[in-house]
Amino acid sequence: MRGEREEKKGKGDKKKSFGRKKVCRFCADKTATIEYKDYNNLKYFITERGKIIPRRISGNCAGHQRVLALAVARARSIALLPFTSPGL
Amino acid sequence: MMHEYETVVLLKPDVGDEPLNKMAQRIKSIVDTQGGKFLQLSNWGKKKLAYEIEKNQKAIYLHALYLGAPLLPKELERNLGISDDVLRYQTVALNRRVDPASREAKELETLKVIDETREEDIFSPRREESDEGFGGAGDDFDGGFDEENV
């Protein structure tokens, strides 16, 4: 697994770091492209409900998240990805 | 000035091989008559839609790649809109100011309706398949709330 747990800081420190450090997948792997046609890869960035996973969770950088959001929007408009999934 | 465009066309699932090829030829002829350069057309087959379109659960996907002036996609989409077999289309501009000589044109092949059933159900993406998925990321998220409470 990538990254290690960061050391907890002293009592006085307001900011505590939890969990592992998140790295933008697309920055880490320069060969990975974001394509609306490649909906199988985009699926990792949407929830079961079809919503886009926020970047505070996925760890994407701002630039790549924007590109990703555009790709998801395009995939949705040609019914490769759902806007929302029924039931649940 | 030629720009590179791609258009995805969704056809009704019940069209046969003949209308499919007609549509392909029509797309090519529009690009040609409008002074564009037709590059390639690929058939993605019959796919299950992520949501119903006009009561159809499936659609035949065609993907066209071509060069042309900015008005060409407009004219193409106008024609697609007229056709009864077309459920939906989407054009994306890929590259600006492309030299036509730098792109190779592929011949139009005769297409067949490919029945392709989707390997996975799109409505329930299998999370465990992603080796580096967000399973662990949920912990981080909870951590975020703790952070605020400190």
Residue A44 with chain B: CB contacts under 8 Å: 125, 130, 133-134
CA distance B78 to chain A (A): 17
- Sheet containing strand B37-53, edge to edge, reads B37-53, B56-68, B3-11, B86-95
Q: Given the DSSP bridges, would you call strands B37-53 and B3-11 parallel, antiparallel or unpaired? A: unpaired
ipTM score for this prediction: 0.70
- The predicted model scores a pTM of 0.73
Alpha carbon distance, N-terminus to C-terminus of chain A: 31
Residue A76 with chain B: CB contacts under 8 Å: 50
Q: How far is CA B147 from the centre of its chain?
A: 43
Residue by residue, pLDDT tens for chain B (150 residues) are 799 999 999 999 998 889 999 999 999 999 999 999 999 999 988 999 999 999 999 999 999 999 999 999 999 999 999 999 999 999 999 999 888 888 888 877 777 777 765 555 444 444 444 444 444 444 444 434 444 343
Residue B9, burial from CB neighbour count under 10 angstroms (0-12, 13-18, 19+): buried
Helix (H, G, I), strand (E, B) or coil at B25: helix
Contact check, Cβ <8 Å, A46/B125: yes
If you average pLDDT over every residue of chain B, what do you get?
80
The pLDDT, as a whole number, for residue A30 is 87
CB distance B10 to B51 below 8 Å: no
Give the DSSP H/E element, type plus range, for residue B106: none
Alpha carbon distance, N-terminus to C-terminus of chain B: 60
Q: HSE (CB half, 13 Å, CA atoms) of B124?
A: 3
- Going from the C-alpha of A71 to that of each of A31, A37, A67, the distances in angstroms are 17, 8, 6
Geometric angle at alpha carbon B128, from B122 and B132, rounded to 5°:
110
